[in-house]
Amino acid sequence: MDKKFLEIEEKRKKFYEKYQVQFKKGLIIGIPILIGVIALFFILDTNPAVFIIGFILMIWPGTFMIKAYNIAHKYKDLIKNDFIKLILEDKFEDTHYDRHGSISQSLIDSTGMVKRPDKFSGEDYIRGKIGSVSFEASDVTLRERQEHVDSEGRRTVTYPVYFKGRWYVLNFPKKLKGTIKVGESYPVNRRGLEKFETESIMFNKKFRSFTSDKQFAFYMLNPLIIENLLKLERKKGGSIYFYYSGNQLHIGVNDRKDYLEMKISTPINESTIKDFEQDFDIIPAIIRDLKLNSSKFKKLEE
Confidence tier at 45 by pLDDT (50, 70, 90): low
pLDDT at 143 over 80: yes
- State the pLDDT at residue 301: 44
Pairing assessment for the beta strands 239-245 and 194-196 based on DSSP bridges: unpaired
pLDDT at 72 over 50: yes
C-alpha closest to that of 167 among 141, 137, 129, 143: 137
- State the pLDDT at residue 129: 92
204, exposed or middle or buried, with CB in 10 Å at 0-12, 13-18, 19+? Answer: middle
pLDDT at 260 over 70: yes
Contact of 290 with 131, CB cutoff 8 Å: no
149-155: average pLDDT: 85
C-alpha closest to that of 297 among 240, 246, 232: 246
Higher pLDDT, 280 or 265: 265
Q: What is the mean pLDDT of the chain?
A: 87
277-300: average pLDDT: 78
Contact of 88 with 49, CB cutoff 8 Å: no
pLDDT at 147 over 50: yes
Quick one: CA dihedral 159, 282, 186, 239, positive or negative?
negative
Helices (H), the chain: 3-43, 48-78, 84-91, 105-109, 201-206, 214-220, 223-236, 270-289, 295-298
CA distances from 246 to 155, 221, 250 (A): 44, 16, 11
CA distances from 122 to 103, 105, 165 (A): 7, 9, 9
Higher pLDDT, 88 or 54: 88
Q: Which of 33-47, 53-67, 89-103 has the highest mean pLDDT?
A: 89-103
- Per cent of the chain over pLDDT 90 is 50
81-93: average pLDDT: 88
Q: Which of 1-15, 41-55, 109-123 has the highest mean pLDDT?
A: 109-123
